[in-house]
Amino acid sequence: MSPILATALQLLALVGALALVHRPFGDYMAAVYTSPRHLRIERCLYRCVGVDPDARLRPAAYLRAVLAFSAAGVLLLYALQRLQDKLPLSLGFEAIDPDQAFNTAASFVSNTNWQSYAGESAMGHLVQLTGLAVQNFVSAAVGMAVAVAVVRGFVHRSARSREGAARAHEGAARSGELGNFWTDLVRGVVRILLPVAFVSALALVATGVVQNLAGAHEVHTLSGATQHIPGGPVASQEAIKELGTNGGGFFNANSAHPFENPSGLSDLLEVFLILVIPFSLTRTFGTMAGNVRQGYALLGAMGVLWLGAVLAVTASEFAHPGTAAQAAGGAMEGKEQRFGEGASALFAASTTMTSTGAVNAFHDSFTALGGGATLLGMMLGEIAPGGVGSGLYGMLVMAVVAVFLAGLMVGRTPEYLGKKIGTREITCAACSFLVTPALVLSGTALAMALPDGEEAMTNIGAHGFTEVLYAYTSAANNNGSAFAGLGADTPFFNTTLGLCMLLGRFLPMVFALALAGSLARRAPAPATAGTLRTEKPLFSGMLVGSVLIVTGLTFFPALALGPLAEGLS
């Protein structure tokens, strides 16, 4: 079978699996977040932390709860790393340096999972299990909670008269209230992430992924060399790493390591886990809005952008730029033989179009245009389909921008889901999507201007610039993947990238919740002949165009200095 045909079959199998679970899984998540009932284990958790699960929070209170919980997570994870040498199951590893501990704490709490360390030679089992793996769950649940709160604000009262709309979320948005963060957080972990991750971990173990609490095994190779092969609870962390669009690997080689990703089957399963929640949340949105076609409109826009990225990276990697690549059938540098160009390109596009950051090949070794396509995927804002939760509320923000642009073109007040988009709403939307470009471009400029940035670069010219640009794009967009040619484990990069991760995660949340609260207070406007039908394919096309135009205007000069200059030289 030719590599191109194998790639096409993999893509079809993946799309088929996602389509099969889209409706039931999306409806299940909608039922989870709109149910008036609390499970017994959930009530126990509420009593332990002393919160009222039935209290309703306004946007400011909801945001304070998000920030307080996340700040506590940063402090706890930082402390675990700094005290690692005094904790059990440390495997003899030393305490993590302050700047790297801050970077890692910010990384995992912000759902970025950027790693400036080698997991198998730096982190003990206790830190991996109680620190990193726990944050893989709760940081994903925070993103989902914020997404659902934003949806409540968008659909409040707009769905009241429609058959089949959930009733519970309507009362939650009364007077601008967006629900209860603690309820949303606990339900996301207990009812969605834990059961799906448990089943997924068993499936990964069945494909050969390692799961134990063993230390390093000393083995001797046929040539007489001695190697130390580490074990650990890999499958359990791998499952939530992909499902929660986290991306932080147990091993330094991430999903290119055979203990994390041993075969083509495990590789396809991991890509499925990366995409299943972000794509299915569009169904959740449509169900909560009482009009599933609204969800399909967002799904269509996300699907077009994701498929375009997959095709762009695949085409670049199958191109034959030189004699060695022609002999191999494609650009195989930095890729695993068990995956090849097609599966590597599919994984790379999926991980950079979400906020996952896991890799099964090294993006630094991709062709210039292939690496540039992965970089562009993150620059889109990771909304196609984006991270768990963050992709949905990011796309809803862009939907507001799209209807605003459409309103300018036809001279009408923009509306979305029956709500008028005024000055306050468009200001919140604009601030939300401008945060990450500001962080990316200012961070890259600072690194290129200071000696600390230049000293960390292992390459010069356009490729070296791309490595720095990729690092700040990955951090600010909460992706976590790296070009791997940048020596980023320095106090300068650990600190600046850590700040970019925190600001890139929580500032968009601030503006998205403010936007949702403002829309929740607006009375629905009756539809007229001039109302833009946002459930139609035309709107999906406008949404795709708006994303590409905004991204192109913002990042084209930086791309021209990096991957475009290298690819066209």
| Backbone φ and ψ of 414, nearest 5° | -70, 145
Whether the upstream peptide bond of residue 36 has omega within 30° of 0, thus cis, is no
pLDDT of residue 329: 55
pLDDT of residue 141: 97
Q: Is the pLDDT of residue 335 over 90?
A: no
Question: Is 408 domain-assigned?
Answer: yes
Question: Is 470 domain-assigned?
Answer: yes
Question: Is 554 domain-assigned?
Answer: yes
Question: Is 508 domain-assigned?
Answer: yes
Region of 111 on the Ramachandran plot (φ > 0 left; ψ -120 to 50 alpha; else beta): left
Q: How confident is the model at residue 477 (pLDDT cuts 50, 70, 90)?
A: very high
Taking a C-beta distance cutoff of 8 angstroms, is the pair 346, 11 a contact? yes
Residue 176 DSSP label: G
pLDDT of residue 231: 78
**CA separation for the pair 397, 381 (Å, rounded):** 11
Q: How confident is the model at residue 138 (pLDDT cuts 50, 70, 90)?
A: very high
Chain centroid offset of residue 2 CA? 32
Question: Is 544 domain-assigned?
Answer: yes
**Which residues have C-beta within 8 Å of that of residue 169, sequence separation ≥ 6?**
33, 34, 151, 152, 155, 156, 179, 288
**Which residues have C-beta within 8 Å of that of residue 95, sequence separation ≥ 6?**
81, 82, 83, 84, 85, 86, 101
Average pLDDT, the chain: 88
Task: Dump pLDDT digits (tens) for 251-284.
Answer: 888 899 999 999 999 999 999 999 999 999 999 9
User: What's the average model confidence in pLDDT over 39-56?
Assistant: 92
Q: Could you identify the residue written with the tokens 């041993």?
A: 262
Q: Is the pLDDT of residue 508 over 70?
A: yes
Question: Is 399 domain-assigned?
Answer: yes
Question: Is 458 domain-assigned?
Answer: yes
Per-residue burial over 365-380, b = 16 or more CB atoms within 10 Å of its CB, e = otherwise: bbbbbbbbbbbbbbbb
pLDDT of residue 225: 85
| Measured CA distances, 58 to 424, 503, 513, 516, 547 (Å) | 17, 22, 9, 10, 30
Question: Is 172 domain-assigned?
Answer: no
Q: Is the pLDDT of residue 327 over 60?
A: no
* Residue numbers of the domain that contains 502: 390-568
pLDDT of residue 321: 59
Chain centroid offset of residue 49 CA? 28
Residue 222, token pair as written in the block: 């046929």
Q: Is the pLDDT of residue 70 over 60?
A: yes
Q: How confident is the model at residue 532 (pLDDT cuts 50, 70, 90)?
A: confident
Q: How confident is the model at residue 131 (pLDDT cuts 50, 70, 90)?
A: confident
pLDDT of residue 320: 61
| Cβ neighbour number for residue 24 with a 10 Å cutoff | 11
Domain count, the chain: 1
Task: Dump pLDDT digits (tens) for 150-164.
Answer: 999 999 864 443 444
Residue whose C-alpha is closest to residue 143's, from 517, 506, 479: 506
| Verdict on whether the full-model pTM lies above 0.85 | yes
User: What's the average model confidence in pLDDT over 389-401?
Assistant: 95
Weakest mean pLDDT among 5-19, 188-202, 212-226, 258-272: 212-226
